[in-house]
Chains A and B, each alone.
Chain A
Amino acid sequence: MPKSLVQIAVQTLLRRRWHSLLILLGVALGVAVMVSIDLANASASRAFELSTEVITGKATHQIVSSGTAIREEEYVRLRRAGVLRVAAPIVSEYVSIPAVNGQAFQLLGIDPFVDRAFRDYWTPDSFSGQAFYYLLTRPGAVMISSGLAERLGVNTGEEVFIEVAGKQQSVWIAGILMPEDRLAARSLEGVLLADIATVQEISGKVGYLDRIDLIIPAANLAEVEKIKAQLPPDLRIESVEARQGSIRQMTEAFQLNLSALSLLALVVGLFLIYNTMTFSVVQRRDLFGVMRSLGVTRRELFLLVSGEALLIGLIGSGLGILLGFLMGRNTVGMVSQTINDLYFTTTVQSVGIPIESLIKGGIVGVLATLGAAIPPALEAASVEPRLALSRSGLERKAKSAVWLLSGGGLLLVSAGYVVFQIPSHSLLFGFGGTFLVVVGVALFAPLLMKMFLESIRPLLGNVFGFLGKMAPGNLLNSLSRTAVAVSALMVAVAVTIGVSLMIDSFRFTVTQWLEQTLQGDVYISVPGFNANSSLLPIDPSVLEQLRSRDDIERIDTLRATRAIAQIGEVNLSATDNPQIGAERLFKEAVGNGDQITSAMQQGQVIISEPLANRTNLKTGEVIEFQTPRGEQSFKIAGIFYDYASSEGSVLMWQDVYRRWWDDEAVTAIGLRLKEGVNPDDAARQIQQSLQTEQALLVRANAALRDDVMEVFDRTFAITAALRILATLVAIIGILSTLSLLQIEKQRETGILKALGVTGRELWRLVMLETGLMGLIAGLLAAPTGFVLAIILIEVINLRSFGWTILLSVNPLAFLLAVMIALGAALLAGVLPAIKMNRLSAAEAIRYE
């Protein structure tokens, strides 16, 4: 582009400072939202990788138990048989350290004699001989990374208090690990490394191993078979990838949802860029005409407009990255919290800034801005070298385009509908369809706006006089820009409505489900690190103590654990609640509640809806488990609604479980109190009177419900934040469009003033115009939002999490949406109105 044109571009942007600033803000916000979410996602993934890396190390395979743990003799037997070549036994436990707000750490028990092949921290300089000696020989000795030592403020030889399965214990710092590798250092920050003997003793797993890590080269698969042949029925060997895959899938769905929402902010921003660039082209048609006759080519004009867009894109994206980075601090925390709540315990706190996220945000921001500027740039290039067409000509063109656009909109919506019909669990299809529908509806906006304005014009004329007629007229005459602004606002508000409706419905559904499921009065469990369920066994003496109380009517116990099925590792719960069949809501089942209970007592299981969706298992089919007593098939008696995990779970009758798993442990206890006993008082009283070293959570029904809902709200906090941001972008869009619109009309305004229109009347005119835009956007947004909510519930949610959500429509959501649109629009009118009033008539007319 010739230098003079660059100057023109820069000057144009500078001259319209406010206007430029607004577009920049729009681009910046769009990019910022994307960057911050991407940062959060990337950090969460990295935290997951690091958390597992230090734990699985270089292992390619693992031997795990289909029961609760591996008997240590099995490992010794395999070792002595010479079957294991490169192998490391592991005992691990999550512990928390009260000194750092109870944060979760991995207490990793290893055998230092064989572990070196697996984990990177065994570098010669990373520990001293004495530290190593103590680690091996001294009970309770641990090694921690220098980073963690600093955080805890401890030195070698000092004690640290930890909590294991609710019990207070202490460990002794044998030494400080100083890994040279930065990433290794990071991943070690969530780890207390100890000898296997120490971890067995602290975690109460004396005699047991959690797993055996193996390194088996890909070329050596015969070794896997050789090991398999030596394993007892309750042990199995599997690849590490297979084990981690399922968790990864779960979090990916969650992260994709966030990414899609963050892209939405950018889409809204694009409307805005398109709108503003179009506007500035239209405004300069005369200028472009003159330039063309002075010999400036079409190509140069195209480049001029694109250049402006590029400049905006660059600066806006730069600002966006900065802003996104700042916002990232919060989003990273929120996303990690949710992932911790729902999927896995990360022990890695900070993972540093993934630079890729920033670069990605920048590139997408610039490209999107450029892309949105292409139509206006083409428009500019099409100007003939004679005096440019008057805008009225363009507007006439725009009016005929209205029908074309609507046709396109119809096409997109239909395409979206077709996409939804594709029988796939892919979220990409889901979001693709959603975007098609949203953009499609947005294309309808000009036509609907035109129809609305034309029909309301007489009515407004009656109410507001000539101003009432003039406002819709003005909007209609500048439909090419006003319609885009309305579309942008409509999309933002529709998304707000859609997401609100979805969350409200979801919340409502979960509340209903809790009501149905939590029939007990008081619940007892061991505090764990995942919000939804604890897999830590309760001290058996607790049950004894409870049995001797006279205020308890009935005690139900639950054993929650992880089990290995043919479909992978799943959550398995074993209950002895005789009313289980009646206390769950079933999507499908073999019969009524009692029949389901008795089917379970005879060895059948029920599975939760997300699991059924994920695995396509149906009632009457079987699920195969690897039990310590060998493989066993369990018939599925029904599919119940369950919102405790998106991974899903299997519910089994406790006696059946105990028979196959030889496991008497109990992880949750539900109490039904006698008539007239207050659950809160009982919970408090039980908490105080229990004689156990284990810190147990004793919660009354209501308190448990509150806790669950707190997790729920925490999960959606980021979604709520996102929709607010999208709306903010849209408001900025409206603001910039309107101010431009009004500034463009300065001359008209001057004439109006000269004709004796008062300042008050001018205010009213501006407010009428912007108010109408807001109203239209709001009215269009309401049905669109509703459709969006249905899509989110029926398509996106079902595909991501497999939950059935009952649609619960709160009319207030619609009203609120229209109010937001109206409010945003009116707010956007304030600045131009003030500005216009300040201008003297003469000044305004002279503007040309």
Chain B
Amino acid sequence: MLEAILLTISLDDFIWIIVGLFAMFTCLSIVVLSLTWLERKVLGRLQLRLGPTRTGPMGLMQPIADALKLILKEDIVPASSEKALFWVAPVIVVISAFMIWVTIPGTQTAVIQNLDLGLFYIIAFSVIGILGLVLAGWGSANKYGTLGGLRAAAQLISYEIPIIMVAISVAMLAQSLDLREIVDGQNDYIYVFVQPLGLVLFFIAGLAEVGRTPFDIYFAESEIVGGPFVEYSGAHWSVFFLAEYINTFAIAALMVILFLGGWSGPVLSGNWEIIWFLGKVYVVIMVIFWVRGTFPRLRIDQLMAFAWKVMVPMSFLSVVMTAVYQFYDWPAWSLTAMSSAGLAVVGLLIFKKMTAPSKLVAEVKARREALEAQRRPAASGGGD
């Protein structure tokens, strides 16, 4: 069996895979460094701060200083922890994060190994990361860790469903699961114009999938103080965050490929198109950082309710809409109309479910104002 597999791989292919993997590791590490710097700077600017300034020009060396510090720190393994699980958990998380990138193309040719079932492969591998988080929570023999691990399992599996359904509707549009063909399919119009609902669902579910604010529930700093990562320190901890940033980058890249036309753009051609790709991805990431600087965190039950009552039905709706559009061969604007209507429904649902308290608040405010108006003449009359 092994022999058969080995025979199918020529030496050239083998060398190419090794070189490609090394290149991928290097590129992703640089991307992660840039993301940590960017996040600090963007958040700093949002929060009236400067962000890092001391390490190099504009603090550009900050990620390297951080990495050095983390690697040099003592790697504490709690005595009561499940040693094997404790060690293997970050590795599982980071491997699944890296493996996704094997098949994400930067341009038509800049890809380690393009797969016909690329989208399917990515979704399948992204689920494995959850296992690492649960193991980390359980293995660290810490109650906060366990709570965080269980939250992670619940949250990530729930939000996997809308991601899959939205990905399916895009695959139906492109008639392929191959990411390169999906991008080629967007030559006439990018899919965000026909599936705005899909983009919004994918963005929200993506935020939940990588545990970004407002869905950073499984490591909620102020409640369960880091969740699965609570016992980790030094290099192990940094590996988790390496994975988190790679996942954030992957979600942004998928969004660009599925909805924003991937690397297609004017002026540039050939492999230079990767500049378009990276530019778009970084714009999406900036939006993610912006959301982080703006929103508080949801509670776990609200998060689950939102997933099952809003996200999942709407993502199924988007599949049905795409299917109807494909089957009857309607013009593209009909799907745009349907999808926009769906988006309006989502907006309405969010308004009903999540903003219901705020309507209450408006009422309360009115009541309070009425009360104060009542009180004021009485008070001033009494004073005189």
Please indicate whether A and B come from the same complex rather than being unrelated chains.
no
Chain B interfacial positions (CB closer than 8 Å to A): none
Task: Please list the residues of chain A having a beta carbon within 8 angstroms of any beta carbon in chain B.
Answer: none
